[in-house]
Structure 1
Amino acid sequence: MPNLLYLNTENTNSLPNSILKSNVDRDKIKTGIAHIGLSNFHRAHQAYYMHELIEQHQELNFGICGIDLLESDRKIYNILKDQDGLYTLITKKANGTIDYKIISSIIEYFYGPENPLAAIERLARPDIKIISLTIAEDGYHLNETTGEFNLTHPQVKEDSLSKFNPKTVFGYLTQIFNLRKERGLPGCTILSCDNIQANGDTVKKSFFNYVEKTTPSLLPWLQENTSFPNSMVDRITTVTSAKDIELFKDTYNIYDQWPVVSEPFSKWIIEDNFISGKPDWEKVDIQFVKDIEPFENAKLRILNAGHSILGILGTLNGYKYVHEVANDEDFIFFLEHYIKTEVIPSLQNTEQQNLKAYKKEVIDRFKNPHINDSLSRICKESSSKIPIFVFPTLLKQLSNQESIAHATFVMAAWCKYYDGVDDYGKTFDITDNLSNQLIRTAALSQQNPQLFLENNSLFKDLVHHDRFKERFEYYLSKLRSLSIKEGLVLMNTGKL
């Protein structure tokens, strides 16, 4: 057996063509994008698209400079440094086929905690036309219940004491654009790729609030020299397992310390609002639109809501993975009926036929048995997800005097989820910033179901709808005496 190859630039000449040996001299690629947050999702999505544009269309002006800002990011930084920014994208199809591709679009990388000034200086240079972000919900420092930027967050306060050693993405951006302003350089586009509603508007509002409190003299310049397009990103990307690493090693005799595992499906839709130019992403099927909202609403209320619903219901039934729940006919019938009778009617500004096709596509993606996406990942921080994914459907249906049965059943199951015990008596971990509060109110709901809804800042307008509260109490009382499986069977047959 030949000697094991470690993935890096020096060894790429020995890579088999079947995993796409690069046909581009990486030394000729120029940096044009800085990306903050080199997560698995970024590497399966944005970096993948840029790789495709480089490989297929010789786009050499928008290589990626990766930036990580968290102490917990040291591992991925060290690995990418060892591997010269190279990594493997592992795509698992539902039929069991596995495709491997070496991604080579990340050509620079900085680690903020190690040298914040170096990262700031690099992003202040004018060759950076786009600063994109995947920093997850926590990185935006939004209040957990109001959704407003949290100026009292400890890291935000810490930034004000040490401006050149920032802890938040907004601290870095402030110093980056301060340098650009002082040096007479242009601004650039800030492109959020996070799974939050109106992500461009959200990062703009948070950033400007931060600047207004810390460096108000910079704000007029920012308003003239930056843009914040909203985007909708869609690709299921799971946690990389040791088995994935070993299989790649055994198949190709290559050691990649941290490959990325994803499904074949991928979509990226962006509002066309770039202040300093952009790559020709249309060539790799990225769609540019004037208004992202219809696309975003469909994705949030069908795919993301569907994920969370299967996560909550499946966890209560003792399942561990998305595909297990999605291949259980009782669970998937419930989800399909929820989307058909409550979600699609509430999405009035979107072509209904397209939504029906999207529903089928999403269900098929959930059923892929090779992704192994864990329910614990899906359920993590559900108090920041359910209000975005499910509440809008509920409120729209209430407003239209239409059915709320399935969405309200989900809400009752969500309450039961915070009991932390499945229907077989096994406990499961709950990871949620509001877990202490919701575990307490779920316990109190056993005497009075309405007490779970006591947090008005979380449940907002829902608590003013008597029809919802009456149905919630009815379903919760049933689920206290039934298993989730028994409840679903009754729902699916119209007996509950």
Structure 2
Amino acid sequence: MTAINNTTLRHLPPDILVPAYERGKVTPGIAHISVGNFHRAHQAVYMDRVLARPGQSDWGLLGIGLMENDAEATKARDMAAQDCLYSVTECAPDAPNVVRVIGSITEYMYAPADRAATIARLADPAIRIVSMTVTEGGYYVDENGVFPIDHPVIAEDLKRDVPHTVFGLVTEALRRRRESGAGPFTVLSCDNLPQNGHVARTAFLTWARARDAGLAQWIEENVTFPCTMVDRITPAVHPDDVRRLDAESGLDDRIPVFCEDFIQWVVEDKFCAGRPELDAVGVQFTDNVQPYEAVKLHMLNASHSLLGLSGVLSGYRIVSEIMADLNEVTLVEQYLGLDAEPLLVAPPGMALPEYGRRLLHRFRNRAISDQLLRIASDSTSKLPMFIKSTAMGVLAHDRPAVRIAFVVACYAEYLRGHDDQGQAYTIVEPHLTDEDRKNAASPRLEDALEMSAFAGWELQDNPGFVATYVRLRQSIRDRGTRATLAQVIAGS
């Protein structure tokens, strides 16, 4: 196998696509915080395309690892060993895989090793965009649009001279830029959140006001927070995947990623310090991202939540496997056609039924085999983003809510930590509170509707919904998820 680094880049197997530019001439203009698999398969791929264009060499990526844990420390070492190069395997459902080496990340910093140095790097005038993928729950903004400065993590960080959180790092860098006259940068959220730019603006401005009111006013007047919609199915990469991907490519890559061949990025064109020529490489710029994000969140991501929660309980573990279950497919089709689509306004040129059919085609991609446990993880944060507005719309229009009740029941049962066959699995719910766990485990099944995930849904105000939810949850326990699902899609 061939190692990946700057020295070997031009000597890789001929079927491996390599950067079409001189990496030695690339300098970072974007700092991306939290370099996960999705970023490396999405934004970094678009930037790889941009850097191949004339005059774009100052738009490279500076990757920043934020979380202090062994996995992130290992990633930083692997990035350094490979000169920040890595492979992306793009998997089409009906064509050979395409392997490309991405070179757009030219520097990488592990923030916990030297947070002061990280802040100084963000304060460099060359950095004109700071983007991030910190997960849906990583912004702390609640269902009322409030950023809680009294949250233990936030309150503790506000006391530090050198902050640890993304809010502290970015705000401190902006303070230095204000003082030096370097000017602002754009803060670009790439997370699956409705109106993610507005959410980010709320979080960072609230943090800044708690730290320095004058700085907060300067940020409010000068920094832009564009909304974005991002889409590319990118599974987690386990050790077996690393071995498989390297065997297929012939590369000795410590940090490969794989993803579907589909990719989309819609961005609000609000950049206070300039932007790269992303519109020339397939990114769609618009004055209003909301219709695009609403369709994606309430159709694709919501479908994933339905499949993830019901699938894990049924004993499935990968999406392509569950897509062979006609009842699960019917559940998604009914949810999209009867619950979600009637409440959505399609963006110009988009037909919602066709979008739904394409989703099912993407989900059937066996080469992706996305993990249902990954999809189900952090449902406490995901359900309010993906399901809530549809649930409230269905109830407000007095339409049958059996599919909503089913996914709510599946979430509550998923938190028990074992499937219908008694097989245990690891629950990854970092935003689940002790009170949530108590309500989920209560013998009064309706108490689960008081969990934080359902705050503001008004589910308990609808006796018909509560009765349906209790009936379906008890059915999952008594008869199993698959038998209950058959009942749901039959409309009973």
Show CA shifts across 1:132-176 (max 9, x none).
Answer: 111223432345x76632212333233333322x21011111221
- After TM superposition, give the deviation of residue 436 of structure 1 in Å: 4.5
Are 2:20 and 1:23 equivalent residues in the alignment? Answer: yes
Show CA shifts across 1:197-255 (max 9, x none).
Answer: 21111111011111111122211211222000010111111112334433444445421
Q: Matched residue of 2:7: which SS? A: helix
Larger mean Cα displacement after TM superposition, 237-246 or 221-230: 237-246
Q: Matched residue of 1:261: which SS? A: strand
Please tell me whether the aligned partners of residues 32 and 129 of structure 1 are also in contact (alpha carbons under 8 angstroms).
yes
Output the CA distance in 1 between the equivalents of 2:474 and 2:13.
60
Are 2:158 and 1:160 equivalent residues in the alignment? Answer: yes
Output the CA distance in 2 between the equivalents of 1:341 and 1:208.
39
Where in structure 1 are there 5+ consecutive unaligned residues? none
- After TM superposition, give the deviation of residue 431 of structure 1 in Å: 2.1
Mapping of 1:356-371 within 5 angstroms? 356-371=353-368
Show CA shifts across 1:247-271 (max 9, x none).
Answer: 4444454211101111111110111
Mapping of 1:155-234 within 5 angstroms? 155-164=153-162, 166-234=163-231
Please tell me whether the aligned partners of residues 38 and 76 of structure 1 are also in contact (alpha carbons under 8 angstroms).
no
Please tell me whether the aligned partners of residues 19 and 48 of structure 2 are also in contact (alpha carbons under 8 angstroms).
no
Are 2:450 and 1:454 equivalent residues in the alignment? Answer: yes
Task: Look up the match of 1:151.
Answer: 149
Show CA shifts across 1:72-97 (max 9, x none).
Answer: 22111111111111110111222362
Task: Look up the match of 1:74.
Answer: 73
Name the aligned partner's letter for residue 149 of structure 2. Answer: L
Q: Matched residue of 1:33: which SS? A: strand
Name the aligned partner's letter for residue 150 of structure 1. Answer: P
Are 2:52 and 1:52 equivalent residues in the alignment? Answer: no
Output the CA distance in 2 between the equivalents of 1:32 and 1:456.
39
Output the CA distance in 2 between the equivalents of 1:439 and 1:212.
33
Larger mean Cα displacement after TM superposition, 118-127 or 470-479: 470-479
Aligned residues: 488
Task: Look up the match of 1:62.
Answer: 59
Please tell me whether the aligned partners of residues 301 and 390 of structure 1 are also in contact (alpha carbons under 8 angstroms).
yes
- After TM superposition, give the deviation of residue 350 of structure 1 in Å: 4.9
Task: Look up the match of 2:112.
Answer: 113
Mapping of 1:75-94 within 5 angstroms? 75-94=74-93
Output the CA distance in 2 between the equivalents of 1:479 and 1:250.
42
Show CA shifts across 1:301-350 (max 9, x none).
Answer: 11111111101111111111122112211111111111111110111465
Output the CA distance in 1 between the equivalents of 2:481 and 2:245.
39
Q: CA RMSD in A?
A: 2.1
Output the CA distance in 1 between the equivalents of 2:184 and 2:255.
34
Task: Look up the match of 2:385.
Answer: 388
Are 2:123 and 1:127 equivalent residues in the alignment? Answer: no
Name the aligned partner's letter for residue 90 of structure 2. Answer: T
Please tell me whether the aligned partners of residues 96 and 370 of structure 1 are also in contact (alpha carbons under 8 angstroms).
no
Please tell me whether the aligned partners of residues 171 and 208 of structure 2 are also in contact (alpha carbons under 8 angstroms).
yes
Task: Look up the match of 1:427.
Answer: 424
Show CA shifts across 1:108-136 (max 9, x none).
Answer: 22221222222212211222111111122
Correspondence for 1:284 among 281, 285, 296? 281
Larger mean Cα displacement after TM superposition, 425-434 or 338-347: 425-434
- After TM superposition, give the deviation of residue 281 of structure 1 in Å: 0.8
Name the aligned partner's letter for residue 459 of structure 1. Answer: A
In 2 relative to 1, CA 56–361 (structure 1 residues): closer, same or farther, beyond 3 Å?
A: farther
Output the CA distance in 2 between the equivalents of 1:435 and 1:169.
22
Task: Look up the match of 1:341.
Answer: 338
Relative to the length of structure 1, the TM-score reads 0.93
Output the CA distance in 1 between the equivalents of 2:88 and 2:449.
43
Are 2:303 and 1:300 equivalent residues in the alignment? Answer: no
In 2 relative to 1, CA 253–315 (structure 1 residues): closer, same or farther, beyond 3 Å?
A: closer
Output the CA distance in 2 between the equivalents of 1:291 and 1:270.
8
Relative to the length of structure 2, the TM-score reads 0.93
Output the CA distance in 2 between the equivalents of 1:480 and 1:251.
43
Larger mean Cα displacement after TM superposition, 350-359 or 320-329: 350-359
Q: Matched residue of 2:90: which SS? A: strand
Output the CA distance in 1 between the equivalents of 2:176 and 2:424.
52
Are 2:321 and 1:329 equivalent residues in the alignment? Answer: no
Output the CA distance in 1 between the equivalents of 2:341 and 2:384.
18
Q: Matched residue of 2:199: which SS? A: helix
- After TM superposition, give the deviation of residue 351 of structure 1 in Å: 6.6
Please tell me whether the aligned partners of residues 398 and 404 of structure 1 are also in contact (alpha carbons under 8 angstroms).
yes
Output the CA distance in 2 between the equivalents of 1:57 and 1:436.
54
Q: Matched residue of 1:229: which SS? A: coil
Output the CA distance in 2 between the equivalents of 1:409 and 1:137.
23
Output the CA distance in 2 between the equivalents of 1:412 and 1:428.
18
In 2 relative to 1, CA 393–211 (structure 1 residues): closer, same or farther, beyond 3 Å?
A: same
Task: Look up the match of 1:263.
Answer: 260
Task: Look up the match of 1:137.
Answer: 136
- After TM superposition, give the deviation of residue 273 of structure 1 in Å: 0.9
In 2 relative to 1, CA 321–96 (structure 1 residues): closer, same or farther, beyond 3 Å?
A: farther
Please tell me whether the aligned partners of residues 132 and 191 of structure 1 are also in contact (alpha carbons under 8 angstroms).
yes
Please tell me whether the aligned partners of residues 321 and 375 of structure 1 are also in contact (alpha carbons under 8 angstroms).
yes
In 2 relative to 1, CA 59–375 (structure 1 residues): closer, same or farther, beyond 3 Å?
A: same
Please tell me whether the aligned partners of residues 346 and 352 of structure 2 are also in contact (alpha carbons under 8 angstroms).
no
Output the CA distance in 2 between the equivalents of 1:354 and 1:37.
34
Please tell me whether the aligned partners of residues 99 and 249 of structure 2 are also in contact (alpha carbons under 8 angstroms).
no
Name the aligned partner's letter for residue 444 of structure 1. Answer: S
Where in structure 2 are there 5+ consecutive unaligned residues? none
